[in-house]
Structure 1
Amino acid sequence: MTDFNFNFNYLVNLDGGISTPSRRKLVLKTNTPSDLSKALVLYQPFPGGQCIGRNLVLNANTKYKPASHLLKPKNKIESKEKHTKACEKPDPKKSSYGNMFLFGMVLVVTVILSLTRSNENWDLCDTKSMVVDLKLLKHELTTNLYGQLSAAKSILDALEEFQVTVEQMAVLILLGGPGTGKTWTTHLIANSMSEQTNQVSLHLGPWASSQDIQMAFNEIKCCRWNLIFIEDSDYADSQQIGTLLDMVSSVSQNTTCTRRKIVMILTSNYGQKEFAELLFQERERFGTRYSVSHEDIHETIKKLTSPLINGFAQRKVPFIPVPYLPLEKMQLEQCIHNDLELKKKTAPPDVIDKIIQHFRFIPPRKDYFVAAGCKTVPTFVNLYA
């Protein structure tokens, strides 16, 4: 076995002699020339490194000569990482710790990404899209909805309370005779909301199918206020009402998006007779439409029945009834002036009287209330103005 003896005070010459001791020297003792060729070690100095082998030169008399590329000097500037890999054996403990650290980092990043995805809707919903400004709606309802102070108050109170609660859905049913302002109210609400709200319109009756109802509810978006306006609910058959209630229950139980607001507004002509009788009694007591108590209105609402109301009651789906009292001559005149203003027209008092004469008032000999409200006002304004 080759015997290596390192002495740093001498340097081996080609003839085996010893040169001056002024430099560090290396003495190599070997038994056979063949073992000397195995002792050729690449000298790659690096400051602070641990490799101390050098390129050794064989005796000139031996037939074993080193390869020419081993005699050429190597670049003295080399990265510390390459030197460490060449000179040191990897520590299995360090490798194990490194793998564990890397695995831990990957696990942490994965968990953070999963939490980020799960909370993506929450982050997106933390915007102005989840808040609506009801000041404009309040101004529109109190200014442009004539004679329906109780209805305007019911709508504003319901939306203000709904905005600060965690509830996802609110159902409003606008009840009252034709021409009392129910459809006009839906236009005021739609035009008062910001562009960030999602608005869907749906008409029930013979021209609507169950698929149309499902498609309307499929348009509901997350992280938004969703307004679903449903007209002609009185023409809905039992199958349509059942589909409507199924979709309401499905949306209410949906947990894929918990950050959304859904307001479903339906219009119904039920309550026309009952509200007319209530207001008639108030007029007979020398009161006005504005003096009717909220308690009397709510007691009257409790007596109302319809396929739609009965369906909500059977399914135990809560809804907010909004009463629309019958209009009187004063409100009819306001509707006429408003339509003239929208059309940028003017009309003298005699023309307005001619328009009013086309409307029927009830009850007989009293002429308290307009039978059809403001329903046909735009038609007669176009005829006379």
Structure 2
Amino acid sequence: MKSEKILVLFVLLPIVTVETGVFDFFSGIFDNDKLRPFNSTDFEKDLRMSLYGQNIALNTILKAVTWLMKDPDPPKPLVLSLHGPTGVGKTYITKIIAQLKAWIYGNVSSFPRSIFIFDEMDKMNPHLIETIKPFLDYMLHVDRVSFNHAIFLFLSQAGANMINEVALDSWRKGKERDQMNTQRMETLLYQGIFNDKNSGFWHSSLIDEHLVDHFVPFLPLERKHLKQCVLAEMTSLNITHDYDVMDSVLKDMPFFPPEEEAFSLKGCKTLHNKLGLHMKL
């Protein structure tokens, strides 16, 4: 198969927060803005190195993106909606792009394999969400530009409570995370956000007309996943792994529910600064 090239592009929305996550999925493929050929093996390796406890999301994203890249003539862009609580592997962006449509047109004209990441979709104005519908639909061209090879990623905390409840129920029953019913969870996700009046997706035609290909749940993280996050943070800082420090950091992190402490309340978010409090300077 002839190799393809992709360009990752971020659509920046009003909420100004920063978190590591989705960008890390592509960090091995894109280096310093230099385009490199897509390689599914490298892509899978990056996913597994960057995500902890998210095999459901990992497998969905891996298969969906690889399938698109192997399809010489896809009928529509790939649209993935990523849902979950804070600190579990999504990413937040810091600024807003004013000229949304013009910006998309220009980049897809140059790079048909572009990736657009929309952050905090649950807080986005529903009317603004509807303006991107033509780019996601089953259309050959929008103003003579084809978007069918592009990838659109929507990031959202909508549905996080439902995801937490399902994960907690599964945990109490002693089930492994990978044993969770992904079809049921995806159904609950899109039904929940579609009927949530406080969500930007409320009665959205993007859902009603089935333009979102996959609703991907990101599960709350367990203590063992936070250990992986702490050790990875130590590695990134060139610090020798110190398991006593790791245990101290975990004791400083909040978990829920209080009586069981099954999952991290903040995911891996704030671990970097927590680590600094427990390191010997």
TM-score by length of 2: 0.74
Counterparts of 1:81-160 in structure 2, within 5 Å, are 128-129=4-5, 132-160=38-66
Partner residue of 1:303? 191
Partner residue of 1:383? 277
Cα displacement (A) at 1:285: 1.5
What is the letter of the counterpart of residue 377 of structure 1? Answer: L
**Structure 2: gaps (5+ residues):** 7-36, 194-198
**Structure 1: gaps (5+ residues):** 1-125, 185-201
Residues of 1 paired with 2:209 and 2:98: CA distance? 18
Counterparts of 1:118-267 in structure 2, within 5 Å, are 128-129=4-5, 132-165=38-71, 166-167=73-74, 168-183=76-91, 208=96, 210-212=98-100, 214-222=102-110, 224-249=112-137, 253-254=141-142, 256=144, 261-267=149-155
Residues of 1 paired with 2:258 and 2:217: CA distance? 24
Partner residue of 1:290? 178
Cα displacement (A) at 1:252: 5.7
Partner residue of 1:271? 159
Cα displacement (A) at 1:259: 8.7
**CA contact 1:214–1:247 (8 Å) conserved in 2:** no
Residues of 2 paired with 1:151 and 1:357: CA distance? 28
Residues of 2 paired with 1:287 and 1:250: CA distance? 39
Cα displacement (A) at 1:337: 0.5
Report the structure number with the largest CA radius of gyration: 1
**CA contact 1:148–1:324 (8 Å) conserved in 2:** yes
More helix by share: 1
Q: 1:366 to 1:299 in 2, by over 3 A?
A: same
What is the letter of the counterpart of residue 232 of structure 2? Answer: N
Q: 1:254 to 1:245 in 2, by over 3 A?
A: closer
Residues of 2 paired with 1:376 and 1:300: CA distance? 29
Residues of 2 paired with 1:179 and 1:363: CA distance? 17
What is the letter of the counterpart of residue 221 of structure 1? Answer: S
Partner residue of 2:34? none
Residues of 2 paired with 1:259 and 1:227: CA distance? 10
Q: 1:239 to 1:301 in 2, by over 3 A?
A: closer
**CA contact 1:222–1:259 (8 Å) conserved in 2:** no
Q: Percent identity?
A: 20
Residues of 2 paired with 1:381 and 1:252: CA distance? 50
Cα displacement (A) at 1:276: 1.2
Cα displacement (A) at 1:134: 1.3
Cα displacement (A) at 1:223: 5.9
Residues of 2 paired with 1:309 and 1:139: CA distance? 36
* Structure 1 counterpart SS, 2:220: coil
